[in-house]
């Protein structure tokens, strides 16, 4: 379905009558929503925004009825959030050489959202064999290490691994720290300092959260993870 907005501008988005919640369960939308994507057919043809990922196939199918996909000259991505850009990977798989226009922050954000080459492995340092963890660190491009603050310090399991990798002095690896805390919150800083002396390049100051993270802080950590993934790739 498409709607001619004006002149050579067409709406090629999706009306989602079923949607009731978005941004997880955070916001309500009692009567569904639209994902607005526009096709501009001027001297050059451009797509402005796409739709939410579950509708990607339908979107690309409909779009190809409006324009031959390889006739699209530019894709403009003003938002990286998945309700705007979810169909972008599928669209780009059809037209991989078409340039995407977005802001500098947009590049980082899109990379964080979609770059499939970031393969993440998660280890509990108190439970996983420390030699296995060290082997995985050796094979990794970057690591995130975390601990709660305990007695103004870090967990012994984390301290132990840091002590071991300090001796190994791995090269060309990025890292950052994270941690929860109750009042003083030294853990992320201590881990960061240890990572530097173990030869890692710090990506940034990491992320810390007071007590157990609430929904807002979980979102903050997710965003941080994407940002970190973007930095690791550059
Ligand atoms: C024995 C103990 C010592 C702690 N010492 C500190 C501290 O020195 N500074 C601080 O900010 N939080 C301190 N905390 C609070 C923890 O960092 C906080 O409870 C954190 O959210 C722990 O998360 P978790 O228990 O879910 O792993 C301490 C907690 C415990 C149990």
110-127: pLDDT as tens digits: 877 776 556 789 999 999
CA of 207 relative to ligand 1 center, distance in Å:
16
Alpha carbon distance 151, 212 (integer Å): 17
- Atom from ligand 1 closest to the CA of residue 153: 8
Report the chain's C-alpha Rg in angstroms. Answer: 22
CA of 210 relative to ligand 1 center, distance in Å:
9
What is the architecture, at CATH level 2, of domain 3-114?
A: 4-Layer Sandwich (3.60)
Query: Please, how many CA atoms are within 13 Å of residue 51, restricted to the half-sphere of its CB?
Result: 23
- Atom from ligand 1 closest to the CA of residue 210: 21
CA of 178 relative to ligand 1 center, distance in Å:
14
Which of these, 147, 96, 105, 106, lies nearest to 125 by C-alpha position?
147
Q: Please report the pLDDT score of residue 16 as a whole number.
A: 94
User: Hey, which of 125, 126, 146, 148 would you mutate to test ligand 1's pocket, going by the most ligand atoms within 8 Å of its Cβ?
Assistant: 148
- Residues sharing a CB contact under 8 Å with residue 71, sequence separation 6 or more, in sequence order: 45
- Atom from ligand 1 closest to the CA of residue 149: 17
CA of 149 relative to ligand 1 center, distance in Å:
5
CA of 190 relative to ligand 1 center, distance in Å:
14
Q: Please report the pLDDT score of residue 119 as a whole number.
A: 79
User: Hey, which of 152, 154, 156, 181 would you mutate to test ligand 1's pocket, going by the most ligand atoms within 8 Å of its Cβ?
Assistant: 181
- Residues sharing a CB contact under 8 Å with residue 120, sequence separation 6 or more, in sequence order: none
Q: Please report the pLDDT score of residue 53 as a whole number.
A: 87
Q: Please report the pLDDT score of residue 201 as a whole number.
A: 96
Query: Please, how many CA atoms are within 13 Å of residue 190, restricted to the half-sphere of its CB?
Result: 23
CB-defined site of ligand 1, < 6 Å: 148-152, 180-185, 211-212
The protein residue whose alpha carbon is closest to atom 26 in ligand 1 is: 212
Q: Where are the domains of the chain?
A: 3-114, 130-233
Cβ-based neighbour number of residue 147 at 10 Å: 24
The protein residue whose alpha carbon is closest to atom 17 in ligand 1 is: 181
Residue by residue, DSSP assigns 93-107 as HHSTTSPEE--HHHH
Q: Please report the pLDDT score of residue 17 as a whole number.
A: 93
Residue 157's alpha-carbon distances to 70, 148, 163, in angstroms, are 54, 11, 10
Q: Please report the pLDDT score of residue 32 as a whole number.
A: 94
Give me the torsion for CA of 206, 209, 212, 217, rounded to 10°.
-90
Produce one character per residue of 94-104: b if its CB has 16 or more CB atoms within 10 Å, e if not: ebeebebebee
- Please answer whether residues 51 and 87 qualify as being in contact, where contact means their C-beta atoms are separated by less than 8 angstroms: yes
Q: Tell me which residues of the chain have a pLDDT lower than 50.
A: none
CATH class entry, domain 130-233:
alpha beta
- Please answer whether residues 97 and 49 qualify as being in contact, where contact means their C-beta atoms are separated by less than 8 angstroms: no
Alpha carbon distance 25, 46 (integer Å): 33
Q: Please report the pLDDT score of residue 117 as a whole number.
A: 58
DSSP state of 128: S
- Atom from ligand 1 closest to the CA of residue 183: 11
């Amino acid at each position: 379905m498409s709607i001619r907005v004006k002149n050579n501008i067409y709406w090629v988005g999706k009306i989602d009558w079923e949607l009731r919640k978005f941004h997880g369960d955070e916001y309500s939308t009692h009567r569904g929503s639209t994902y607005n994507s526009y096709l501009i057919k001027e001297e050059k043809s451009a797509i402005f925004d796409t739709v939410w990922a579950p509708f990607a196939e339908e979107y690309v199918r409909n779009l190809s009825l409006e324009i031959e996909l390889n006739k699209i000259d530019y894709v403009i991505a003003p938002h990286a959030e998945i309700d705007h850009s979810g169909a972008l990977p599928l669209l780009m798989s059809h037209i991989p050489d078409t340039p995407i226009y977005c802001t500098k922050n947009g590049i980082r954000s899109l990379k964080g959202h979609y770059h499939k080459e970031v393969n993440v492995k998660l280890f509990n340092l108190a439970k996983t064999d420390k030699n296995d963890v060290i082997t995985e660190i050796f094979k990794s491009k970057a690591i995130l290490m975390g601990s709660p603050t305990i007695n103004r310090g870090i967990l012994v399991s984390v301290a132990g691994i840091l002590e071991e990798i300090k001796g190994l002095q791995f090269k060309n690896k990025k890292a950052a720290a994270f941690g929860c805390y109750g009042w003083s919150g030294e853990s992320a800083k201590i881990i960061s300092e240890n990572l530097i002396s173990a030869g890692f390049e710090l990506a940034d100051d990491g992320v810390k959260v007071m007590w157990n993270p609430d929904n807002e802080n979980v979102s903050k950590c997710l965003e941080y993870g994407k940002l970190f993934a973007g930095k690791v790739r550059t």
